[in-house]
Amino acid sequence: MKLATYTANGQTRTGIVVGDTIIDSGVDGTMIDLIREWDTLKSGLEAKAAAGGGVPLASVKLEAPVQRPGKIFAIGLNYADHIEESKMETPQRQVWFTKAQTSVNAPYDDIEIATGTVTNDYEVELVAVIGKGGKHLGIEDAPAAIFGYCVGNDVTERMWQHAGPQWSLGKSFDTHAPMGPWIVTADEVGDPHNLGLRCFVNGEKRQDSNSKHLVFNIWQQVEHLSTGMTLEPGDCLFTGTPGGVGAAMDPRQFLQPGDVVRCEIDGLGHIEGKMVAEG
């Protein structure tokens, strides 16, 4: 099932995407509320999807599926070709940083280039959305802990990323975590470790890989994070980016106002945003 957050007639709701239509879920509350009550709601939402009767998807504004995740974590250096282009050593332990809630952006909204910054970069990523979550989850527990997946762009301001010993500030600028266009539930995705993912800038393909190349797979990521904290419904994990980022090109190709960045993942759809100077 594809589940979206959308705005129509001044109201923001959750909905079921069926073909080129969207059906109001009828659930009061946010996507996090829907995820939290999924076991109770699932059969009813499946019936709604089968009955049809939605409105054209083009008539609504899609928002980030989870607009205010409780936690946003992202893993660095998790594809071999990206590690090589970054001239870094393959990490023996997972390298995590956080992205601020205020970095979340709708899937087709503009992405801001903050005043005074000149090294904005793109990173297509598979995003895992936590469902039941939990703490002290083992590898075998991880698949059941995840609700679904969506497309993400871990937009990064490189100078800020490397200005200190940790990366979170350079990863957390407003609008720098576009996600969407909807969550595809885990049962529909099947194996998340065999999905093609690509990023285009102004139509030029910059990244092209497959989630089977993750250094630490998603089950290992869930096991690692849940060792120290409780993963909760709606938490979002950016699972790593492949090679091809602008910072590694020769010469470097950072994003400029007017550039259009499109990220797509097989079976999940695509997101696309235009870079604009902060107003």
Task: Output the pLDDT for position 279.
Answer: 85
**Beta-bridge mates of residue 275:** 111
Nearest Cα neighbor of 259 from 207, 181, 204, 209 is: 204
Terminal Cα-to-Cα distance of the chain (whole angstroms): 37
Rounded Cα–Cα distance for residues 177 and 25 (Å): 25
Rounded Cα–Cα distance for residues 169 and 51 (Å): 46
| pLDDT tens per residue across all 279 residues of the chain | 999 999 999 999 999 999 999 999 999 999 999 999 999 999 999 999 999 999 999 999 999 999 999 999 999 999 999 999 999 999 999 999 999 999 999 999 999 999 999 999 999 999 999 999 999 999 999 999 999 999 999 999 999 999 988 899 999 999 999 999 999 999 999 999 999 999 999 999 999 999 999 999 999 999 999 999 999 999 999 999 999 999 999 999 999 999 999 999 999 999 999 999 998
Q: Provide the token pair at 99.
A: 């992205």
Question: What are the structural domains of the chain?
Answer: 2-62 (no CATH), 72-277 (3.90.850.10)
The length of the chain, given as a count of residues: 279
Task: Output the pLDDT for position 165.
Answer: 87
Half-sphere exposure of 38 (CA within 13 A, CB side): 20
Q: What is the enclosing helix (H) or strand (E) of 145?
A: helix 142-145
**Beta-bridge mates of residue 260:** 274
Provide φ and ψ at 61, rounded to 5°. -100, 120
Rounded Cα–Cα distance for residues 104 and 262 (Å): 16
Rounded Cα–Cα distance for residues 156 and 52 (Å): 40
Task: Output the pLDDT for position 239.
Answer: 98
- DSSP-derived letter for residue 271 is E
Query: Whose structure tokens read 């282009």?
Result: 85
Report the phi/psi class of residue 56: left, alpha or beta, with left for phi > 0 and alpha for psi in -120 to 50: beta
Rounded to 5°, angle at Cα 82 from 118 and 229: 90
Task: Output the pLDDT for position 157.
Answer: 98
Which residues, at least 6 apart from 114, have a Cβ–Cβ distance to it below 8 Å?
157, 173, 174, 278
Rounded Cα–Cα distance for residues 182 and 32 (Å): 13
